[in-house]
Structure 1
Amino acid sequence: MAENTAETVRNAVVEAALGKLDLDAKTRLLAGQDMWSLPALPEIGLKSLVMSDGPIGVRGVRWTADDPSVALPSPTALAAAWDPALARRAGRLLAQEARRKGVHVLLAPTVNLHRTPLGGRHFEAYSEDPYLTGAIGTGYVRGVQDGGVGTTVKHFVANDAETDRFTVDNRIAPRPLRELYLAPFEAIVRNARPWGIMTAYNQVNGVTMTEHHELVNEVLRGEWGFDGYNVSDWMAARSTTADIAGGLDVAMPGPDTVYGPALAAAVRAGEVEESAVDTAVRNVLRLAARVGALEGAPPVVTEHPAAVDGDALAREIARRGFVLVRNENGALPLAAGRTVALSGAAARDARVLGGGSAQVFPDHVVSPLDGLTAALPDDALTFTIGADPSEELAPADQGFTLRARCRDASGTVIGEGSLPNGQVQWIGDDLPAGVTHEALASIEVVGTFTPRESGEHAFGTRGLGAFALTVAGETVYEGTQALGPETDPFEAFFGSPVERGKVALTAGETVEVSLLHTLDKEFAAPLPAVMFSFVHLAPRRDPDELIAEAVEAARAADTAVVVVATTERVESEGFDRKDLALPGRQDDLVRAVAAVNPNTVVVVNAGSPVELPWREDVAAILLSWFPGQEGGAALADVLTGAEEPGGRLPTTWPVTLADAPVTEVTPTDGELHYGEGVFIGYRAWDKAGAVPAYPFGHGLGYTTWSYEALTATPDAVTVRITNTGDRPGRETVQIYLAPTADTVERPARWLAAFASVEAAPGESVETEIALPRRAFEIWDEEKNDWTLVTGAYEVVAAHSLTDGRLTATLEV
């Protein structure tokens, strides 16, 4: 009742504020004032609303290590925990971080589907299954908004790949659009009431999503009752009249957008009704009222949840998301007193998050080497590089201490800023204090480098414009990188690094380094930004020699642990993957180590599926995803048995890319046809009769479970299970439905519900799991509505998709 009263007051304040604004003020509010915020309107008591990326950490308005962020594990890891309550706790932590950074709205979560394993942002989305995606997304949104911070569920809709994402027209029939791609958004809107949504770059069936009246106004707002604000993906809004008619409230980034003065002019010219502008402004003011940014309006949250320990939660999510897909002869957990040979460059320099807008700068990262060093006795662990996944230069990081010095055209220093690595990525007003885009003419990255290895170190650049590179007093390069005639203008953001020269250095001896970058003022960047990188590659030793060292260490140890990984050039926003192979000689390393040590454990540090051609030759495989800042500590917890790996696969892992039923990401003549219909993920694997490396829902723990009893009605199932092992554990009970005789084309089976249960050794637990009506429905394209499909269904209580334990039959 109290919330209803507060909502009434908020709505009244919103209407009163709206009535005080003239057309120019209203349209200015919808355009944004800069990269990340909307303008304040003091005449109505409106503060500036601040938005920020991202899904695993809150960047804030400045992408800088001066204001570090907690880095949680990747969304694939969070989904692998199969626990909406854990997702809610993650959301509460992110709300806490947002408040600390003065952020009102988080640009997350990403709830697009894993339609194909080649999707470049696969790691940033949850699952191939719409029900699991909706459940995890619901928990996440509830958690963020518990903390009084808004969310923008994205990218609405079908932004499932990166290739030509700005222009691609995804052609999707109504049934798969409803049953798969819209389904997570619908679940989150109905169950979590998000305060915002982000419309995508792409088209759906011929209409750009920021202009999509049918999907935004009729479906999202009409059918589902969404009452939040709709913000464009950055630079997605292209048409003043079509966007406002299509239900777009805010065009970002500002102030130079299709809204603002252009929208006011369209109203005055009679091309747009002012009532449409009022509707958009009302949605923005409602958001401001909810987050406490509109004077006189009570915020939704007046008492914030208890403070969350970011390190502890990051560690818990990581281990709860680790998926143990193989564990032969009890290889894990490690027995006490065993010696361990650790190898893989990613064990020392872990990749803890994916590339693109999901990136943040944590104040520390615990690598696998750090975690195991802390957990094991001093004489129990050895480390060798073995193989390095990176075959190209990467932003200067380990051993570098850098600053960015900004100058105007006269050479006068106008500002400085620190750099966590050699990557300058200043977007919009995200510039050092006192620096403006208009005045900025050059940036010099200056500092020192203390190498870890002796030998020839390669140095280079990434970006467009003139560069002068100096190392240890030696000019390594002077020249200009121009934009080629057919080069994507985002090359400056996501392009390949270029080696400019090599310098012989000695381990432990510090040298001065400098990279002077003069901006190309003729280059019309897609948005106001300065983005370039000072890149480096350590001396390349003979790969066979490195593998041989790892082999000898493994031969002498009780257990060999090999960490393999992808790189930022494999998984990132901005491009799709070309294959699923691990980069470099990592496969060779695993094979060689496994040949001399039967107790070889492989840790896969990748945000999405990779091929594991040696998977039958090793004792254990643990998928760690991108495990966040505490990943190494969580890994030590799991390997030593202090904690159980809690994850189950949220997406199918193929043996090879060629086996995957759906892989296409490249449009033909601008169109990408979702010709597979409702058959993606495990649905497609079942239809093809193909066998993946590891099925959806798969994951092993450190105890065993007996499924004792199952009863089912159309509304719920009740399952009783017993922990038959010798240690406490957690089981994810998965409920699948399979029609016994289908009158319509449907998947052979699908996830209908799930629940997590915990039990001590020998303990039995019973859980009741609701079955949603939607699990029995399809979208009827003739009726243009949901239709209940009656008949007999087999209900399966399962450990995974292919490991059904109990079945029951029910009539619907």
Structure 2
Amino acid sequence: MNRDIHKIVSQMTLEEKANLCSGLDVWHLKGVERLGIPSIMVANGPNGLNKQAAAGEGINMNAGIPSTCFPTAAGLASTWNRDLIREVGVALGEVCQAENVAVLLGPGANIKRSPLGGRNFEYFSEDPYLSSEIAASHIQGVQSQGVGTSLKHFAANNQEHHRMSYDAIIDERTLREIYLASFEGAVKKGQPWTLMTAYNKINGSYASQNEHLLGDVLRNEWGFEGLIVSDWGAVDQIVDSLAGGLELEMPGNSLSAGKILHAVNHEKLSEDVLDVAVERMLQLIFMHLDNKKENASFDSEQHHQLARRVASESMVLLKNEDGLLPLDKNRKVAIIGALAEKPKYQGSGSAFVVPTRVEIPLDEIKQLAANPNFITYAPGYALDTEDVDQGLVEEAKLAAQSAEITVIFAGLPDGFESELADRAHLKLPENQRQLIEAVSSVQGNVVVVLMNGSALEMPWAPSVGAIVETYLAGQAVGSAIAHVLFGESNPSGKLAETFPLKLEDNPSYLNFPGEGDRVEYKEGIFVGYRYYDKKKMQTLFPFGHGLSYTTFAYSNLIISRSELMDTETVDVQVTLTNTGTRAGKETVQLYVKDIESSVSRPDKELKEFAKVELQPGEQTTVSFTLDKRAFAYYNVALKDWHVESGEFEIMIGGSSRAIALQAKLQVTSTVAVPQTFTRNSLLGDLMRNPIAAPMMQALTQNFQASMGISDGDEKMAKIMQAALVSMPLRNLVTFSQGAFSDEMVEHLLLQLNAQN
């Protein structure tokens, strides 16, 4: 329906406009009854609908109407499957339509800076490109159903320690390449109806009133058109927030309207700014009304089946020695671990979902076995303590000894990872660690199934034959695990984060969680695999890693051109073949490396990926198109993404550490980085500058001659060239024995700076 929003706003009183900028209560936005503008509801997500059971109910993180609980973001990202994530979004949108929810609060696109982050299970990845792609697909799916999303938490929300007050100190290049890039693609491709600001400060300014991020970057550069809303309780000063670009404070605050009125009446806040905020609020309300589907409904059973499919595809086969998995349905299997009976399938906090049902792994395994009597069970440990119960351990050892294969369920019980608190370490509970070691000492065929929201240390990994990472797999966790263990589903998940050997290896270790309220991101752009690769460090499991019950071969890497300008695109093709005996899915990962750069860059960066399903012996061609952004870094001087002329390497493989094919191409920049040369500019920098280089070549040859070095003296010429690289321009006068003067240098500088 076409409405004149400007006209509606002009009919409002100043008080009505001020009132709209703060919520009605915890979950509702205000309306204006006099003008027929209704109140609308928002609700927590994003891996299921967490709608409070009673209207106007306060924040209760563990209460809500039943809704299908899908895998959390850590698991969704491990699918590396844009289409599947879009399907999940569609299902969530259907539920929201049926429940009259206007906006689902999610997804979360923050970077996993440290594996200790308490909300890492709610976030997708350590890599900004993967994170933004998965977030965009999620947004597209939900909003295809006429329901809004709220991309969160913008920006640099990477820890729970002092989460409402810490100041993230991040240099501009790191902020752009890592922490903002994780949101950028999601905003541009998904155009979420709303975006939620974080609690923390970024470089001294609260996210909810950060004019640079909300105005300059989000609105002006990225073209965001939706509503900007605060996280619940994130507003410091409502007037400053409105001036900085925020439009809606949540939850409702009875004092805010008065502060806004006072600021406008005393010319401390422009009424035009207030009007823009109200217009965006009305735009959101009307989008909900115009997209509302009468008598909307959904099929909860169909959603459960989707949850099972997503969970199966999210599971990562980390290790599988000698083909221990899949299990033979006719073999005797001991299932050990209390989590097999009481699975950890979701995280705690605002993302908690009341499931429509929960499948129990032990029950589902018994159902798939050829005979349920082939399956024995021992709890092995208690979930409410870390203390070792020797009686339970001995019972587990006896069960393992009487079986042909043992499957141990291990993971992080409630309280080990949650919103509001960061993790203290990366270890399993002590009773689980000792159980794994004890069982492995009496049984040679041990499979460990993990239930956790983020990376773990695994000192016990060498003593077990197979490891399956299920993350927090949602309500269909039971059948999904059973299907993977028995080979009904071929695992195809890939890690969206690096598992380090130990916590101390993590690049943020010395600067997490900071000192007081100050958190310095001193590792810069070297987050996750970017750091481990640059340092040539061994990891437990690398970014992008994940095994299959079949095998794949990469061949015929073809790049459509060997040279291109940075304004052009290049096509990359690779042939993928299923060389095994089972149907399976492989995620083809494309990484790019700048071979020689004047700035510090990672050894490789993920720039594209595609998930492909192949039958045994089947072959297909996977195609990608790369543009300027695939080769660029963020240049602070230009305030833009910049490609340095030079050679780049294209790398294709099944993980960041399993590169199968490589090829090079030349990329030429069309943009020169502005430089002002002085007497103290280094000759090496001048030689690398495309404008200055021709002049410098002749000049250095003359200088070399003035030093008495002939062209035939190759050894001395080489030494001199090396010395010139780090020599200031002024030293041409000092060392040329009168061949160069200050006047000549000044004249040269005038020429160079005029052309640059």
SS in 2 for 1:578: coil
**1:582 alignment counterpart:** 428
Structure 1 distance, partners of 2:195, 2:295, is: 25
Q: Which amino acid aligns with 2:250?
A: M
Equivalence map 1:251-290=2 (5 Å): 251-256=249-254, 259-290=256-287
- Please point out which of 753, 758, 766 is paired with 2:608: 753
Deviation at residue 267 of structure 1 after TM alignment: 1.2
2:556 matched residue in structure 1 = 709
The aligned amino acid for 1:791 is G
- Is 1:694 aligned to residue 528 of structure 2? no
Q: Within 2, Cα distance between the matches of 1:216 and 1:333?
A: 50
Change (3 A) 1:594 1:56: same
Residue 770 of structure 1 and its aligned partner are, at CA, apart by 2.3
SS of corresponding position for 2:109? coil
Shift of 1:300: 9.2
Where does residue 13 of structure 2 map in the other structure?
22
Name the SS of the counterpart of 1:260 in structure 2. Answer: helix
- Following TM superposition, by how much is the alpha carbon of 1:772 offset from its aligned partner in structure 2, in angstroms? 3.9
**Counterpart Cα distance in 1 of 2:381 and 2:506:** 28
Gaps of 5+ in 1: 1-5, 293-297, 393-539
**3-state SS of paired residue (1:731):** strand
The whole-number CA distance in structure 1 between the counterparts of 2:529 and 2:186 is 22
Contact 1:138/1:192 (<8 A) preserved: yes
Report the Cα offset of residue 299 of structure 1. 3.5
1:795 corresponds to which of 650, 664, 667 = 650
Whether the aligned pair in 2 keeps the contact of 1:92 and 1:305 (CA below 8 Å) is no
Structure with higher helix content: 2
CA contact (8 A) 1:735 1:797 kept: yes
- 3-state secondary structure, aligned to 1:182: helix
Q: 2:101: which partner in 1? A: 103
Q: In structure 2, do the counterparts of structure 1 residues 300 and 15 end up closer, same or farther at CA, with 3 Å as the change threshold?
A: farther
2:440 is matched with which residue? 594
Equivalent of 1:677, from 506, 512, 524?
Answer: 524
2:45 aligned with 1:54: yes
SS of match in other structure, 1:716: strand
The residue number in structure 2 matching 1:185 is 183
User: Relative to 1, partners in 2 of residues 1:109 and 1:804: Cα closer, same or farther, differing over 3 Å?
Assistant: same
Select which of 729, 733, 743 maps to 2:598: 743
What one-letter code is carried by the residue in structure 1 that aligns with 2:661?
Answer: L
Q: Which moved more, 1:735-744 or 1:351-360?
A: 735-744
**Structure 1 segment 552-701 matched on structure 2, within 5 A:** 552-663=398-509, 664-701=511-548
Tell me whether 1:31 sits opposite 2:22 in the alignment: yes
Are residue 335 (structure 1) and residue 182 (structure 2) matched? Answer: no
Q: Separation in 1 of the partners of 2:572 and 2:203? A: 39
> 1:587–1:614: 8 Å Cα contact kept in structure 2?
yes
Post-superposition Cα deviations, 1:87-131, rounded to whole Å, max 9, x if no partner, equal 111111111121222210011011000101111101110000000
Inter-CA distance 744–305: structure 2 relative to 1 (3 Å threshold): farther
Q: Alignment partner of 2:372: what SS?
A: coil
Identity of aligned residues (%): 38
1:261 shift after superposition:
2.4
Out of 150, 153, 172, the position equivalent to 1:152 is 150
Residue 391 (str. 1) matches residue 377 (str. 2): no
Partners of 1:61 and 1:746 lie apart in 2 by: 47
The answer to whether the Cα contact below 8 Å between 2:147 and 2:291 also exists between their aligned partners in 1 is no
> Could you say which structure has the greater relative contact order, defined with CA pairs below 8 angstroms and 6 or more residues apart?
1
Letter in structure 1 aligned against 2:12: L
Q: Tell me the CA shift for residue 303 of structure 1.
A: 12
Residue 186 of structure 1 and its aligned partner are, at CA, apart by 1.0
Deviations 1:415-466 (A, max 9, x none): xxxxxxxxxxxxxxxxxxxxxxxxxxxxxxxxxxxxxxxxxxxxxxxxxxxx
SS at match of 2:160: coil
Q: Return the offset for 1:775.
A: 1.6
Structure 2: which amino acid aligns with 1:645?
A: P
Residues 169 and 206 in structure 1, CA contact (< 8 A), matched pair in contact too: yes
Q: 2:224 matched to 1:226?
A: yes
Q: Distance in 1 between matches of 2:508 and 2:381?
A: 31
- Per-residue deviation, 1:301: 8.5
SS of residue matched to 1:699: coil
Distance 1:99 1:260, change over 3 A: same
Q: Distance in 2 between matches of 1:774 and 1:803?
A: 24
Q: Would you say 1:371 and 2:364 are equivalent positions?
A: yes
343-352 vs 738-747, greater mean Cα deviation:
738-747
| Equivalent residue number for residue 80 of structure 2 | 82
| 1:312 has 2:305 as partner | yes
Taking the aligned partners of 1:781 and 1:390, their CA distance within structure 2 comes to 51
Cα separation, partners in 2 of 1:219 and 1:304, compared to 1, 3 Å: farther
SS of the aligned residue for 2:83 comes to helix
Higher strand share: 1
Q: CA deviation at 1:246?
A: 0.7
| Aligned partners of 1:389 and 1:582 also within 8 Å | no
Q: Which residue of 1 aligns with 2:248?
A: 250
How far does residue 570 in structure 1 lie from its aligned partner after superposition? 1.2
Partner of residue 375, structure 2:
381
User: Is the Cα contact below 8 Å between 1:752 and 1:772 reproduced in 2?
Assistant: no
TM-score by length of 1: 0.78
Q: 1:304 to 1:178 in 2, by over 3 A?
A: farther
Q: 1:196 aligns with which of 177, 194, 197?
A: 194
Q: Distance in 2 between matches of 1:302 and 1:688?
A: 57
Residues 517-555 of structure 1: CA deviation (Å, up to 9, x unaligned): xxxxxxxxxxxxxxxxxxxxxxx8x71111111111011
Cα displacement (A) at 1:306: 8.6
Partner letter of residue 333 of structure 1?
P
Measure the CA separation in 1 of the matches of 2:104 and 2:64: 20
Letter in 1 for 2:4: V
Shift, 1:619, TM fit: 0.8
**Residues 727 and 303 of structure 1: CA distance in aligned 2, closer, same or farther (over 3 Å):** farther
Q: Which residue of 1 is the match for residue 675 of structure 2?
A: none
Secondary structure of 2:285's counterpart equals helix
> Structure 1 stretch 125-134 or stretch 248-257: which is displaced more?
248-257
**Contact 1:76-1:126 within 8 A present in 2 as well:** yes
Q: CA RMSD in A?
A: 1.8
Query: Within 2, Cα distance between the matches of 1:303 and 1:195?
Result: 23
Question: Could you say which structure has the larger radius of gyration?
Answer: 2
Aligned to 2:238: 240
Question: Within 1, Cα distance between the matches of 2:627 and 2:37?
Answer: 41
Q: CA deviation at 1:307?
A: 5.8
| Partner Cα distance (1:240, 1:76) in 2 | 33
Deviation track 1:2-36 (CA, whole Å, cap 9, x = no partner) reads xxxx7xx3xx4322322221111111111111001
SS at match of 1:52: strand
- Distance across 2 between alignment mates of 1:310 and 1:65: 21
Count of equivalent residues: 649
The AA in structure 1 aligned to 2:39 is: S
TM-score between the two structures when normalised by the length of structure 2: 0.84
Q: Which residue does the alignment assign to 1:460?
A: none
Q: Is the 8 A contact 2:50 2:64 kept in 1?
A: no
Asked if 1:40 corresponds to 2:3, the answer is no
Contact 1:389–1:583, Cα closer than 8 Å, also in 2: no
| Cα contact 2:206–2:236 (8 A) shared by 1 | no
After superposition, the Cα gap between the structure-2 partners of 1:102 and 1:302, relative to the gap in structure 1 and judged at 3 Å, is closer
Which of 283, 291, 300 in structure 2 is aligned with 1:299? 291
Q: Which whole-Å CA distance do the structure 2 matches of 1:715 and 1:288 have between them?
A: 43
SS at 1:152's partner residue?
strand
Structure 1 distance, partners of 2:294, 2:342, is: 42
In the aligned structure 1, how far is the partner of 2:296 from the partner of 2:84? 18
